[in-house]
């Protein structure tokens, strides 16, 4: 099997990307980042679209930099299926094996096998124009895997699908990627893709890796505000103290220490937006940590409403971007609108404090 080592630096205009990632053989790694984080530049460098200023892509000991794309054995699945419009689903899947020298009959057998793997046997004779988005993406998955790539690149593979078919395709992709045991690198902005598919997570921000580690770890204990944000957690940086965490300007946030932490070390406090309570006036005698905020925005978040915080006049800067998830009924009771000053409150038992930086 194939181990991938990427270490590239690319400059495109004012944007600089400098990333080093290793994917073990058979492992699935997700590169997570918001728009502009450098995901597509990274993928372009991997696929050979941009020539790196520095560094190299090594797959299974082969340096890929000067290998033409068609000899790289790197499969690509992007957000649009891009099935060849003039070929049936079966011929689309058979295209890879045919191009790499299989006989027609063998290629068709391979195609039928992969179509079965993606539950698309019934679609074999259809043209791409006769397939729905989800069906096309199934066929595209079969096509990408049918030529047995040493590395599979997934470029936001569900971004263009209807929300109601995404879960099915996502779990299908997980199943076939695991079954094939192919080394996979996925680029996505959706944390759910990473949760379902990836063994490990690499978080990209501003062209650099800001965090990396096993998916579960990174999402449970993000060390950067950005990672926390994509993990859907609130994060406050500071230094550890006995009660929990002390911010730079002196606010103490009560919390627990799941791992032993020495006093006065760089640390982060993490809590879920759902554990944040919101008040118009500070409640009296509460054991909770209270933080004054200004309401920046309200957005639907599942069955709850997510309130985004901004810094109130004279307030601490770390408040910016904190989230609180409350029920619509609670929002109605509060009768708030953006610009109002509020209080966010969180119980110490729901705040976890971890050392910052791994």
Partner 1 sequence: MTSVPRLLWAPAALAWLLVAIPVAGLVVRVDWPNFLGLVTTPSALAALRLSLETGLATMVLCLVLGGPLAVVLARSSLPGLPFVRSVVLLPLVLPPVVGGLTLLFLFGRTGPLGSFLDREFGITIPFSTTAVVLAQTFVAMPFLVVSLEGALRTAGERYEAVAATLGASPATTLWRVTVPVVLPGLMSGSVLAFARALGEFGATITFAGSLEGTTRTLPLFIYLESESDLDGAVAMSLVLVVVAILVIVVSRTRDLR
Count of residues that interact with partner 1, criterion CB under 8 A = 25
The answer to whether 69 and 147 have CB atoms below 8 angstroms apart is no
Window of 85-93, 181-189, 218-226, 276-284 that interacts with partner 1 by CB under 8 A: 85-93
**What gap in Å lies between CA 299 and CA 247, rounded to an integer?**
28
| Tokens encoding 9 | 């630096």
Q: Which of 86, 129, 281, 313 binds partner 1 (CB under 8 A)?
A: 86
Give the distance between the most distant pair of CA atoms in the chain. Answer: 79
Burial class (CB in 10 A: 0-12, 13-18, 19+), 124: buried
Q: Which residues pair with 298 in a beta bridge?
A: 307
Q: Which of 42, 50, 95, 318 binds partner 1 (CB under 8 A)?
A: 95
Q: Which of 56, 100, 132, 327 binds partner 1 (CB under 8 A)?
A: 100
The answer to whether 197 and 174 have CB atoms below 8 angstroms apart is yes
| Residue 297-326 contact track with partner 1, rule CB under 8 A, x = bound | ------------------------------
Q: Which CB sits closer to partner 1, 72 or 221?
A: 72
**What is the smallest separation between the CB atom of 83 and partner 1, expressed in angstroms?**
9
Closest by CA to 79, choosing from 172, 156, 167, is: 156
| Tokens encoding 191 | 């944390």
Q: Which of 96, 157, 238, 255 binds partner 1 (CB under 8 A)?
A: 96
Positive or negative CA dihedral for 300, 301, 307, 308?
negative
Q: Which of 147, 182, 197, 204 binds partner 1 (CB under 8 A)?
A: 147
Window of 52-60, 96-104, 174-182, 230-238 that interacts with partner 1 by CB under 8 A: 96-104
| 192: number of Cβ within 10 Å | 13
Window of 94-102, 205-213, 227-235, 255-263 that interacts with partner 1 by CB under 8 A: 94-102
Contact between 75 and partner 1 (CB under 8 A)? yes
Cβ neighbours of residue 289 closer than 8 Å, sequence gap 6 or more = 244, 251, 252, 253, 254, 345, 346, 347, 348, 351
**What is the smallest separation between the CB atom of 74 and partner 1, expressed in angstroms?**
6
Window of 79-87, 164-172, 195-203, 342-350 that interacts with partner 1 by CB under 8 A: 79-87
The answer to whether 187 and 156 have CB atoms below 8 angstroms apart is yes
Task: Give the interface with partner 1 as residue ranges (CB under 8 A).
Answer: 47, 68-76, 80, 82, 84-87, 95-96, 98-100, 143-144, 147, 149
């Amino acid at each position: 099997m194939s181990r991938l080592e990427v270490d590239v630096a690319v400059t495109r205009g004012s944007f600089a990307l400098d990333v080093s990632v290793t994917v073990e053989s058979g492992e699935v790694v997700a590169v997570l980042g918001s728009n502009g984080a450098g995901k597509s530049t990274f993928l372009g460098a991997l696929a050979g679209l941009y020539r790196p200023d520095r560094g190299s892509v090594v797959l299974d000991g082969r340096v890929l930099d000067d290998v033409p794309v068609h000899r790289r054995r790197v499969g690509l699945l992007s957000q649009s299926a891009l099935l060849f419009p003039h070929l049936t689903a079966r011929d689309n899947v058979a295209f890879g094996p045919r191009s790499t020298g299989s006989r027609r009959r063998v290629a068709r057998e391979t195609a039928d096998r992969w179509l079965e793997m993606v539950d698309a046997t019934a679609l074999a004779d259809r043209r791409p124009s006769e397939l729905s988005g989800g069906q096309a993406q199934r066929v595209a998955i079969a096509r990408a895997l049918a030529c047995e790539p040493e590395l599979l690149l997934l470029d936001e593979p569900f971004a263009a699908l209807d929300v109601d078919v995404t879960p099915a395709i996502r779990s299908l992709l997980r199943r076939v990627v695991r079954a094939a045991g192919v080394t996979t690198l996925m680029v996505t902005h959706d944390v759910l893709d990473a949760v379902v598919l990836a063994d490990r997570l690499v978080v990209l921000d501003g062209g650099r890796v800001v965090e990396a580690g096993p998916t579960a770890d990174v999402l449970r204990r993000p060390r950067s505000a950005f990672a926390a944000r994509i993990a859907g957690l609130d994060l406050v940086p500071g230094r550890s103290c006995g009660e929990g965490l002390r911010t730079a300007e002196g606010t103490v946030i009560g919390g627990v220490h799941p791992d032993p932490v020495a006093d006065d070390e760089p640390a982060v406090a993490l809590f879920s937006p759902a554990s944040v309570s919101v008040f118009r006036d500070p409640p009296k005698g509460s054991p909770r940590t209270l933080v004054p905020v200004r309401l920046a925005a309200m957005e639907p978040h599942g069955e709850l409403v997510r309130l985004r915080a901004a810094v109130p006049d004279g307030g601490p800067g770390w408040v910016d971007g904190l989230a609180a998830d409350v029920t619509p009924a609670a929002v109605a009771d509060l009768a708030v609108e953006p610009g109002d000053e509020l209080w966010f409150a969180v119980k110490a038992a729901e705040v976890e404090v971890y050392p910052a930086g791994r």
